[in-house]
C-alpha cells in the first residue's frame, strides 16, 4: 500500500471509525485499562493509572520509542487531547498537567505486567472482526528484548498472534529461552481455542502440548519438526516423499530474492503412523530461493505435522498457515526496526515488558483499522496529536 492510499485509508477510518467497528470497540481502551490494578500507594498519587497508560499508548502510536519520547509527546499535546486521555487537571489553575518522564518510568516499571497484557488482549479479542470463513489460526513464538539487560538476564517474552488480523492476543514473560515450554499453556489457557489451529516452531513440538491442545482445548495444531524430536524427525525424513506429488506451489519475489515453495502432504496411518499424539498428516515443504544479486540458488527442506485430516485441511490451507506463522516474525521485525526495540535501554522492573506491550497495542490498533504499513501510519499520526484519539476510541 503506498503512502497516498494509506492516507486515504486513515481518512476514511477517521470519519467512520465508530460505525465500522464492533459494539465492544466503542468502549475506549482508556475505559478498558481501568481493569489494570494500581499497585501504588494511593497517598500522593496525582495521575490516574489508566490515563498514564493511555497517554503512553497514544504517544507510541506516533512513533515514540522511549519513556523520554512519550513524556515529550505528552508535554506537547494540546489541552483537549489531555482532557480526552483523562490526564490530571489542576483544580486551581484548570490546566491539565501531563505526566513527566520520571512518572512514566515509575509506572511502567511498577505496573502489573500480567494484568496489562491480559487487559489489552481481552480488549483486542472484543474488537476482532467477526469470523467469515475458514478456521481461526493463532501463532505462538518468543522474542528476547536484547536491550533489557546483559546476556543471560534479558527479558524474554512469549506471544500469541492471530494470523488473520495480525494482532497480538496475549503475552507472557519467561525466564529464558528454554523455559518457553512451561509458559505455553499459561499463554494460551485463557483463550477459547475451540476449533482454532495453533502453529508453533519446533521448540514447541512437544507431546504434552499436542495432548493439551487437542484433548483439553479442543484445538488443532500444525507444528514444525526438527531434530529436537529425533525419532519423529527420522520418521518424517524417511517417508516415501519421491512417490508423493507436489500438492501446492507458490512463488514470491521481493527483498532481493525469488522464492518457490512446494508442499507435499501425506496421511500417516497404519504402517506410516507417526510417533506423536494425534498426528494425522505429515508435511514436507521445500523452499528454493534465488539470490537475485548473486544468481545462486539454495534449498531448504522443512517438515511439519498436524492432527487435521486431509478432509479437514487441504494442502493450500496448510501452506497458508505455515507461511502465516511468519506473521509473528513480521511483528518482531516491526518492533525491532520501526520502534528500535532492541536498542531500548529500559531495564527497571517491568518496564521492558510493559513497553513491549505498548508497542504491541499500537500495532494492534492500527491493524484493527486495516492498516499494515505501520511506519507510514506512525508518521501520519505524528503530524496531528488528535489522530491517536481516533484509534483509542476517544474522538
pLDDT band at 109 (very low <50, low <70, confident <90, very high): very high
The residues spanned by each domain of the chain are 29-111+346-392, 115-337
pLDDT band at 176 (very low <50, low <70, confident <90, very high): low
> Which one, of 157, 171, 90, lies nearest residue 341 by Cα?
157
pLDDT band at 179 (very low <50, low <70, confident <90, very high): confident
Which of these CATH numbers, 1.10.1060, 1.10.20, 3.90.350, 2.60.120, describes 115-337?
3.90.350
Separation in Å, CA 342 to CA 217, 218, 320, 345: 34, 37, 29, 8
6 vs 98, residue with greater confidence: 98
What three-state secondary structure class fits 324? helix
Predicted local confidence at residue 25, as pLDDT: 45
E strands in the chain: 137-145, 155-162, 168-174, 197-200, 220-225, 248-254, 257-267, 281-291, 297-306
Q: What does the block give as the cell for 47?
A: 495521575
pLDDT band at 329 (very low <50, low <70, confident <90, very high): confident
Region 171-185 average pLDDT:
86
Asked whether the predicted pLDDT for residue 24 surpasses 60, the reply is no
Asked whether the predicted pLDDT for residue 11 surpasses 70, the reply is no
| Highest mean pLDDT, choosing among 147-156, 178-187, 298-307 | 298-307
What three-state secondary structure class fits 215? helix
Asked whether the predicted pLDDT for residue 219 surpasses 60, the reply is yes
Q: Does residue 224 contact residue 201 with C-beta atoms inside 8 Å? A: yes
Amino acid at each position: 500500500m503506498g503512502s497516498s492510499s494509506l492516507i486515504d485509508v486513515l481518512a476514511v477510518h477517521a470519519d467512520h471509525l465508530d460505525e465500522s467497528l464492533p459494539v465492544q470497540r466503542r468502549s475506549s481502551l482508556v475505559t478498558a485499562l481501568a481493569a489494570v490494578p494500581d499497585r501504588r500507594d494511593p497517598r500522593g498519587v496525582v495521575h490516574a493509572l489508566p490515563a498514564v497508560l493511555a497517554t503512553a499508548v497514544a504517544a507510541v502510536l506516533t512513533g515514540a520509542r522511549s519513556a523520554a519520547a512519550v513524556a515529550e509527546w505528552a508535554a506537547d499535546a494540546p489541552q483537549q487531547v489531555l482532557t480526552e486521555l483523562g490526564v490530571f487537571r489542576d483544580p486551581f489553575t484548570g490546566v491539565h498537567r501531563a505526566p513527566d518522564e520520571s512518572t512514566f518510568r515509575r509506572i511502567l516499571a511498577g505496573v502489573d505486567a500480567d494484568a496489562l497484557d491480559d487487559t489489552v488482549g481481552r480488549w483486542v479479542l472484543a474488537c476482532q472482526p467477526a469470523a467469515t470463513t475458514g478456521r481461526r489460526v493463532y501463532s505462538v513464538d518468543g522474542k528476547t528484548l536484547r536491550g533489557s539487560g546483559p546476556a543471560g538476564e534479558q527479558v524474554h517474552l512469549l506471544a500469541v498472534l492471530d494470523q488473520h488480523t495480525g494482532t497480538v492476543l496475549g503475552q507472557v514473560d519467561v525466564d529464558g529461552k528454554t523455559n518457553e515450554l512451561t509458559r505455553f499453556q499459561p499463554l494460551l489457557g485463557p483463550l477459547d481455542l475451540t476449533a482454532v489451529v495453533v502453529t508453533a516452531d519446533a521448540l514447541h513440538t512437544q507431546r504434552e502440548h499436542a495432548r493439551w491442545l487437542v484433548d483439553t482445548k479442543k484445538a488443532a495444531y500444525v507444528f514444525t519438526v526438527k531434530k529436537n524430536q529425533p525419532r519423529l524427525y527420522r520418521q518424517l525424513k524417511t517417508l516415501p516423499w519421491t512417490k508423493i506429488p507436489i500438492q501446492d506451489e507458490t512463488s514470491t519475489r521481493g527483498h532481493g530474492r525469488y522464492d518457490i515453495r512446494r508442499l507435499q502432504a501425506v496421511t500417516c496411518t497404519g504402517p506410516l503412523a507417526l510417533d506423536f499424539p494425534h498426528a494425522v498428516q505429515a508435511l514436507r515443504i521445500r523452499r528454493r530461493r534465488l539470490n537475485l544479486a548473486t544468481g545462486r540458488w539454495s534449498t531448504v527442506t522443512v517438515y511439519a505435522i498436524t492432527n487435521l485430516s486431509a478432509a479437514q485441511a487441504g494442502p493450500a490451507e496448510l501452506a497458508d498457515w505455515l507461511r502465516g506463522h511468519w506473521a509473528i516474525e513480521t511483528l518482531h521485525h516491526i518492533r525491532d526496526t520501526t520502534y528500535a526495540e532492541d536498542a531500548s535501554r529500559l531495564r527497571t522492573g517491568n518496564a521492558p515488558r510493559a513497553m513491549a506491550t505498548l508497542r504491541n497495542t499500537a500495532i494492534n490498533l492500527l491493524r484493527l483499522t486495516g492498516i499494515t504499513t505501520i511506519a507510514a501510519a506512525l508518521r501520519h499520526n505524528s503530524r496531528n496529536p488528535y489522530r491517536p484519539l481516533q484509534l483509542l476510541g476517544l474522538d
